[in-house]
Amino acid sequence: MERPDQKTPSYLHGFEQEYEQSPRQAAIDWFRNARYGLFLHYGLYSLLGRHEWVQYREKIPVEHYAKLMDSFTAASFDARAIVRFAKECGMCYVNLTTRHHDSFCLFRTSQTDFNSLNSPARRDLVEELAEACREESLGLFLYYSHGRDWRHLHAPNNDQWKGAARPEYDPPEPRYATGQDHNLNHYLDFVSAQITELLTQYGAIAGIWLDGIGVPLSGDFSQFRCQELYDLIHRLQPQALVSYKQGLLGTEDFFAPEHKALTTKPDKPMEICTTMSKDNSWGYMESSRGNHRTVDEVLEILGSAYSRGCNLLLNTAPLPDGSLDPEDAEVLLEVGRRLHNGELSQFLRD
């Protein structure tokens, strides 16, 4: 398996000399040039087709929601096809939801049984995608829900935190630790252990992309030990970049706000993340079919991001079986064709 201390990661081709001097600076410079990436929101919520927040919105009890794992096959999730598709679309990196707010993991982990290897899929989707990205020299970012977890006993609760920390169950969810029994550090130890797994099992990773910032921002975010986590990431893989949406501590390697750039331009790279669904759902939502962005709309978004010196991370939601949404695929391939033909210039803004 490729390791950062053995050779320059394949996605950093062209940055070899810089990588020898400073792996992280080489990765930052690569990232500024990468410009365009594919975001994939895939998990148990995809099976229901009612938004990635379906457990929260519909207040589905934890153990009832967990039964979805028995139907998770990922039968048409084809990592190589996905990576080749991204490349044909003109993208330089891929970002996969390794674990969303529902806490279901798409990777091999010793921290919980709630993962894809214990489902009928019997597969480690992160491993498959990491191998495919390495073969095609694309960077792989790993999305990880840090601020929210709707399953873990000691994850942020609604007594201390806002920002949709937990679904408002009535009666209360019996699985959750409460009062004096609740200990956030148990959850943070779980997070650190899983991030360690993600950075030691799959070779060189381009970055860890954290989500759920609304929860720590709702209170004393120093309790979340974020700098400790950032340091762990950089220690395990010096070139791996860290983001936490619009920035929690300011020590992140790049900022990744949703839908539009930050009003003040930071002295670090910025990546705008948005989604193909016009209702701004990220996971598969059946009711959004026929209401996705067109070729010209995607080019307009790309032009806006590029003109502001930002990358664009564009999300498409795989269907329940893991296949790419054909509606989005057709549009993104056409966008890629136009990019290759140099047709983005008309969409650039001053």
Q: Are 294 and 256 in contact (CB under 8 A)?
A: no
> Tens-of-pLDDT digits for all 350 residues of the chain?
444 445 899 999 999 999 999 999 999 999 999 999 999 999 999 999 999 999 999 999 999 999 999 999 999 999 999 999 999 999 999 999 999 999 999 999 999 999 999 999 999 999 999 999 999 999 999 999 999 999 999 999 999 999 999 999 999 999 999 999 999 999 999 999 999 999 999 999 999 999 999 999 999 999 999 999 999 999 999 999 999 999 999 999 999 999 999 987 778 999 999 999 999 999 999 999 999 999 999 999 999 999 999 999 999 999 999 999 999 999 999 999 999 998 777 666 54
Find the helix or strand (DSSP H, E) in which 242 lies.
Answer: strand 241-244
What's the DSSP call for residue 109?
-
Range(s) of the domain holding residue 172: 10-341
Rounded to whole angstroms, the Cα distance separating 117 from 80 reads: 19
In a domain, 269, yes or no: yes
Q: What is the DSSP string of 117-150?
A: GGSTT---HHHHHHHHHHHHT-EEEEEEE-S--S
In a domain, 347, yes or no: no
What is the count of structural domains for the chain?
A: 1
- Whole-Å CA distances, 167 to 148, 173, 191, 221, 239: 10, 9, 20, 20, 36
CATH code, domain carrying 172: 3.20.20.80
In a domain, 15, yes or no: yes
- Residue 341 CA to its chain's centroid (Å): 29
Q: Are 217 and 248 in contact (CB under 8 A)?
A: yes
Rounded to whole angstroms, the Cα distance separating 222 from 37 reads: 31
In a domain, 346, yes or no: no
Give the pLDDT of residue 5: 46
In a domain, 235, yes or no: yes
In a domain, 1, yes or no: no
Radius of gyration for the alpha carbons in the chain, expressed in angstroms and rounded: 19
Phi, psi of 144 (to 5 degrees): -145, 125
CA dihedral sign of residues 71, 43, 58, 152: positive
Q: Are 19 and 12 in contact (CB under 8 A)?
A: yes
Q: Are 26 and 267 in contact (CB under 8 A)?
A: no
